[in-house]
Amino acid sequence: MENIGARAALLALVAGLLTGCGAAPRPTDVTASGHGSSGVAGSAGTIGSAGTIGRAGSACVLPVTFDIATGWEAEAVDGLAAVASGGVDGDTVDSLLRQGPVTLVCEIDAKPAGAVGFLRVSTGKPGSGDARAVLRAFVAAEGATSRAAYRTFSAGGLSGVRVDYVHSSELLGERTKESALAVVTSRGPVVLHLGGLDSAEHDEMLPAFELAQGTLRSS
C-alpha cells in the first residue's frame, strides 16, 4: 500500500477508536524478562529491555515472544473493536490493517522513549508461504521500495529472513529507511516492521528492532 500518509492517518483513527472504547490492554501488562540487565548492542547503539511481549498476560498475545526496548509501549490492535465502536467500516479497517499476506495485530510505540515511530507486528494464516516469500510479499505491498537487502538469521530456535530497504513516498516526497523481518511458526507467519518519521529516526530506533530480532522465541 503505497499511500503511507493515508495508512498513517487511518491507523491513527483506529488507534483513537481503540483507546476510546478501552479495547486494548495497556503497556503495563508487559511481563518481566531476564534480558533486561544487559541490553543488546545494535548497529546504532546499545539499548535495554523493558520486558517480553507476546506471551499470555502481555499487552499483545502473539505466536512469538520478544523483548521490547526500555520506554517503548505496546498496545494490541483489534480491527473488530474499531468497527464495533463506529466510524470505520469493516472493509476499510481490513484494507488498512492488512499488508500482503499478514494483518497488523500489535503496535509498539517509540514516542515514550523519545523517538517518532513504531515497531509493528503482523500475523498471517498457516500456509501463507515460507519466511522469504512472506517478507517479499509484505515489502511489495508497501509500494515504491528500493535497495532491499535480504538476509537470513536464527534466534531462539526460529529461522527467519530480514530485509533493510528504502521506501519512497510520492505523497510526502521523501525516501525513508525501513526494516522488517519474518518468521514462520506453527500458528502462521509473523512479520515485525520498523518504520519511523524519517531515516534519522529509523537509525535511532534500529537497536530496538535488533533487540526484538535477537530475543525472538516461539510462544
Domains of the chain, by residue range, sit at: 4-218
Check pLDDT > 90 for residue 121.
yes
Higher pLDDT, 42 or 47: 47
pLDDT higher for 7 or 34?
Answer: 7
Q: Which residue has the cell 515504491?
A: 144
Average per-residue pLDDT for the chain: 78
Mean pLDDT of 26-41: 36
pLDDT at position 23 over 50: no
CA distance readout (Å), 102 to 2, 160, 202: 16, 15, 22
3-state SS assignment for residue 192: strand
Q: Indicate whether 96 pLDDT > 70.
A: yes
| CA–CA gap between residue 53 and residue 39 (Å, rounded) | 16
Assign a CATH topology to domain 4-218.
Protein Transport Mog1p; Chain A (3.40.1000)
Q: Tell whether the model's pLDDT for residue 180 goes beyond 70.
A: yes
pTM, to two decimals: 0.76
